[in-house]
Amino acid sequence: MTDDLISVSDAATKLGMYKQTLFKVIKRLGIDTIKQKSSAHRGQAISYITKTDFDLIIDNQTATESQNKNESPVPSTLIDQGVFYLIQLEPDHDPGRFKLGFATNMSERLRSHRCSAPFAIIVETWPCHVLWEKTGIDCVTQGCEKLHTEVFRTKDIEEVKKKCEQFFGLMPDLKDIMR
């Protein structure tokens, strides 16, 4: 049976996409992955798909590409770009509670946050590469109380904003990364 399987990691490499992106395609197509331990991966459980499912993914990607052939291709560097945001969750009742994160579509991201924090407001956004998100959060939340994964409390939201400006002031211009 293992001869009929291909690891998701190998499949992503063959398709020229990120593994995370391939997992999204697998989910959208309703394909079940198989977890097996692999001696090649130090005994860790690795996700596999069948070669038949891999062929289905190739067919789906080919069809998607042919549908989009009239659209100009988006450079892969743009896919990983968006904004780093600082949102104040309860500006009137708890002005020190804030959320940080990365979004490629800020209006949609704010809309989703408003389901649990209806009074949330955007304090500021900065152009960001997706890989900078975790480092940015770790950097700008020094001295803040961690309440949840990306939710913190501070005594001074303006100080957090200032730290964000300093952090992103040190980062390279995203236009330079695209070259």
Q: How far apart are the first and last CA of the chain?
A: 45
**86 touches 164 (CB < 8 A):** yes
The tens digit of pLDDT for each residue in 61-95 reads 776 665 555 555 444 445 578 999 999 999 999 99
Q: What single-letter DSSP state applies at residue 73?
A: P
Q: Global pTM?
A: 0.57
The tens digit of pLDDT for each residue in 139-158 reads 999 999 999 989 999 999 99
Q: Give the DSSP H/E element, type plus range, for residue 22.
A: helix 19-29
Q: How far is CA 90 from the centre of its chain?
A: 25
Sorted by where each starts, the structural domains of the chain and their CATH numbers stand as: 2-67 (1.10.1660), 77-178 (no CATH)
